[in-house]
Chain A
Amino acid sequence: MAETLTQSAADAEDVDHGRRFLFWWLGISIVATPLVAIFLGPAIPPGHGTVEAAGQVVDNTVLVAISTPVCAFVLVMLAYTLTKFRSRAGVLEDGEPIRGNNRIQVLWVAITTVTVLFLAGFGSYELVSDGAGGGQGPSAAFTPVGYQKALDVQVIGQQWQFTYRYPSAGGVETPDLVLPENTLVRFHVTSLDAIHSFWAYELGVKADANPGVDNIAYVTTKGPLTFHVRCAELCGLWHGYMDDVGHVVSQSDFSAFLAKEKAVYAPIMKYLPPYAKTYLPDPQQRAG
């Protein structure tokens, strides 16, 4: 008797399941999304050390904010379903034979499509506006404003270290990466052997170093900064130890740095190949 009562009570509530779920989902989303966007988003790396890095933080914030209601939808629905629609123990009973609902299907397709198109559009806008710190190849399709006057810095990956050349200082090659503050820098990333990836973490830069390719990435530095460089593409035995530390310094310190490097490396400059977009070792004779 009690069973039939609860059964009919549940039937009376049936219309409300969808609305209740919506209530919980919207409620949680409306509360959680701003919290995530305000507190979690800006804390996501790579930080605000450069314009590009800060742009990536904005991207990450938007993505994590949009993910929140999506996440809430699936989790709330799972939680609601799994608690409300349990079978009674030891009874094999059937659910309702609902085979679909055109309105929900159309709505679902429409909402996911709009979300996805927004994300792709937003990401493309962020990418096209400044290249987002990623390696863009020799033709650098998406260039930031004022790219003609950017400071060129070449990054040469080889097993298993990075070296850097400054064409503005006569092509001096040094193992130290130093950049001036408040400057648009154009990295020319290339490799002498395997594929490496120049990942300057705090700068928000990542560009693969391919042999024979001049891969360009832009970054706009802000204030002084110490940043870490790691190789992000498996390049052989000591890949795990292919790291480096670089510095963003004031303009005067940067000039002093270049002058010092030129003086230190002057004796070996004549052994270096002249500055070029790519360098390749002589072809190897291979057999068997």
Chain B
Amino acid sequence: MTGEVALARPRSGWSRLIGFNLLTAVVLGIGGYYLGWFLGHHITGASVDYFGDTDQNDISVFLGYILGVIGFLVGLGFANYPFARLRGYPPSLREKESEGVGRYFGLCTDHKVVGMQYLCGIGLFFFIGGLNAMLIRFELLRPNMQAFPAGQYLTLVGIHGSMMMGMMTSGILGPFANYLVPLMIGARRMAFPRIEALTFWLLMAAGAILTTTIFFGGFPTGWTGYQPLMDQANAGMDSYIVFFALVGISMSLLGLNMLATIITMRAPGLTWSRLPIFCWGVVSTAILMLLAAPVLVAVLSMGMLDRTAQTTYFVVQGGGSPYLYENLFWVFGHPEVYILALPGFAIVLEIIPVFARKPLWGYRLAVAGLLGVSLLSWLVWQHHIFMSGIDSNLRPFYMLSTELISIPTGFTFICGLMTLWRGKIRYSVPLLFCLAWFFNFLIGGLSGVFLSDVPSDTTTHGSFFSMAHFHYTIMGGLVFTFFAAIYYWVPKMTGFQLNERLGKIHFWTMFLMFNSTFAPLFAIGFLDQPRRAVSYAPSLQFLNDWASVSAFALGISMLIFLYNFVWSLAFARVPAGANPWGSRSLEFQLPSPVPVHNFDRIPVIAGDIYDYGTPAPAPTAVPAPAGGAS
């Protein structure tokens, strides 16, 4: 026994293409799909769907997707390590140590590589989802159908919603928590490095599967997939089900990994009361991911069985109920929206002290706010179905619990604002995005109070008002802080500065055009335009056109960012130095680029990372003495 897991040795030329890599993965993925397709057709003939015969066979589509994903993962090399262990080889992390650009395109267990993979992979799907939004706004330039047939329009809406709600759930935990949590807590890796890589590749497989829905005619349900519409839909629905189930598996594994890492792998001296607030945000989000996502996987599996195995969980004629779907979906779905929002809160609170040069104000209150939102988000899901007629006696309770969430959310506001108070504020691009969060989330939060109030919800429910509300909270809350995180940490991650001037241009176009796009939608919703409808009253055309034109400008602001990102990192390449912002946080005390093993010696945390303003603060961390903590 040599003690080594067999891995590809360095080779040259075309022979490099053979082995466990992305190419093999794609080939095996497609092969697996056709194998499943073939098996499915052998198990059963053409399907009879809810309202009539089609030539689509749901069983073979599902089997194809599932075997395709398995083939994809095997091709990447995820099966090698379990088999090596079964054959008696000792544990190893050899996947981490490969070098060069190639490791970004395959299975790599280095958390920094996975973070960069997430950033680019999620960025890709974010742009696809954004492009769908542009097409939706193009269609809505006129009050009647113009560019897309009704079915295609619904598919656009569905892909946009699913892509954003599915892929962007990991939008901050994927790239930034994977990259930064080990650095912030003084660890050399995540607790489960292979699971970490698995979450990323599952998510990529999921995104690819969602885009293949167009080959099956798309799906009509939007991102919520309500029954019995899901049961009626043609095979494009299967792509949605497999997509969201894979996202759910990826999310719960990501949450598990984050919790295990932060609980068990903190460096000596990093007590809970010294933990960076970003890590607290990750903890509160990871709890939701770990516990909520399995509900999603369960409800989608039930939907899959309804579509294939003739179960009737949601078929009223067979004793099922669409209420079951609505409830289970929102038991997941409401924590889900806080999975999107909470990392944003944490990033705002993490970045503001650096640019106000002040300690975080009310650290305990801020932590209580994050955990309080995380806890309360379990108790509010029925506010999504206030008008559905299910147990109306509970509505005052859900109204109360929903409005209670504004209390811990308010903690984030007061802590952020009071940190700015009497600071020495530097207007850098990351701070600008955080300041925009205050404005956007204020509007988003206050409009949420209208939706939580049942009498007001009677008008606003299911209208463009609720659509504007959640774009203010998710795009205004998550996406703005996502960009704050990019401008703040990417110089650390890559070692190169992002252009400040282009960053400011990006910020101002994005901020102004975002508000110009979504503010009119509140009015449109109040004026009787339902969500997801391809037609609307001609009197609303001016406001819709205004929103559409602003949305196109918002899209252009994303292109400014893309130009900045590519130009700064690939062509200008201005070195950023180890600590471009003068931060005390542990990740900025490491050299750039961060070495493969992060810390030669595990650090001992000596000081508070928010200790700004003290004349001679203790250093954040000192290396452990030789022979001490390892």
Residues of A within 8 A of B (CB): 14, 17, 44-46, 52, 55-56, 59-60, 63, 67, 70-71, 74-75, 77-78, 81-82, 85-88, 92-101, 104-105, 108-109, 112-113, 116-117, 119-120, 123-124, 126-128, 131-142, 189, 193-195, 197, 199, 201, 204-208, 210-213, 215-216, 228, 230-241, 280-288
Contacts and interface: CB of A to CB of B under 8 A. Distances in A.
B404 A116 contact: yes
Interface stretch (B259-267, B435-443, B547-555): B435-443
Contacts of B530: 199, 230-232
Nearest to A123: B453
B363 A86 contact: no
B620 to A, nearest CB: 15
Contact of A206 (B150, B321, B406, B459): B459
Contacts of A241: 150, 534-535
Nearest to B50: A284
A238 B462 contact: no
Contacts of A132: 454-455, 458
Nearest to B462: A232
A156 to B, nearest CB: 14
In the A-B complex, the 3 residue pairs with the smallest Cβ-Cβ separation, listed nearest first, are A215-B389, A240-B534, A97-B613
A102 to B, nearest CB: 9
Interface string B372-402: 0000000000000111111111011001100
A97 B612 contact: yes
Contacts of B226: 194-195, 233-234
A119 B403 contact: yes
Contacts of A97: 358-359, 611-614
Interface stretch (B84-92, B276-284, B416-424, B497-505): B416-424
A67 B447 CA distance: 9
Interface centre among A59, A95, A280 (most CB of B within 10 A): A95
Given A78-B417, A94-B424, A282 B458 contact: no
Given A85-B422, A228-B528, A239-B532, A74 B389 contact: no
A192 to B, nearest CB: 10
Contact of A240 (B153, B403, B458): B153
A288 B45 contact: yes
A52 to B, nearest CB: 8
B480 interface: no
B357 interface: yes
Nearest to B220: A236
Contact of A98 (B145, B224, B385, B422): B422
Given A135-B388, A140-B392, A232-B461, A82 B425 contact: yes
B13 interface: no
Contacts of B321: 212
A112 B406 contact: yes
B314 to A, nearest CB: 10
B358 A94 contact: yes
Interface stretch (B16-24, B333-341, B407-415, B597-605): B407-415
A6 to B, nearest CB: 14
A212 B316 contact: yes
Contact of A134 (B318, B323, B387): B387
Nearest to A193: B228
A96 B353 CA distance: 11
Interface residues of B, number: 108
Contact of A45 (B227, B406, B527): B527
A134 to B, nearest CB: 5
A6 B198 CA distance: 58
A234 B361 contact: no
Contact of B420 (A85, A100, A119, A204): A85
A237 B149 CA distance: 9
Contacts of B417: 74, 77-78, 81
Contacts of A77: 417, 421
Interface centre among B226, B446, B450, B530 (most CB of A within 10 A): B530
A124 B420 contact: no
A85 B399 contact: no
Contacts of A210: 322-323, 388-389
A285 B387 CA distance: 31
Interface in B570-613: 582, 611-613
Given A56-B456, A100-B365, A282-B317, A116 B527 contact: no
A280 B150 contact: no
B58 interface: yes
15 contacts: A17-B422, A70-B446, A71-B446, A78-B417, A85-B424, A99-B359, A99-B363, A116-B404, A132-B454, A134-B455, A193-B228, A194-B228, A230-B528, A286-B49, A288-B44
Contacts of B391: 137
B426 A127 contact: no
B48 A116 contact: no
A230 B322 CA distance: 21
Given A46-B459, A137-B391, A288 B613 contact: no
Given A44-B526, A81-B421, A201-B528, A108 B442 contact: no
A234 B222 contact: yes
A233 to B, nearest CB: 6
Nearest to A287: B48
Contacts of A109: 407, 411
A85 B435 CA distance: 14
B398 to A, nearest CB: 10
A96 B356 CA distance: 10
A124 B315 CA distance: 33
Given A193-B228, A288-B45, A94 B317 contact: no
Contacts of A236: 154, 220, 229, 232
B156 to A, nearest CB: 12
Nearest to B424: A87
A216 B463 CA distance: 20
Contacts of B438: 74, 78
Interface in B27-59: 44-51, 57-59
A123 B454 CA distance: 7
B306 to A, nearest CB: 8
Given A205-B458, A288-B308, A195 B229 contact: yes
A108 B415 CA distance: 10
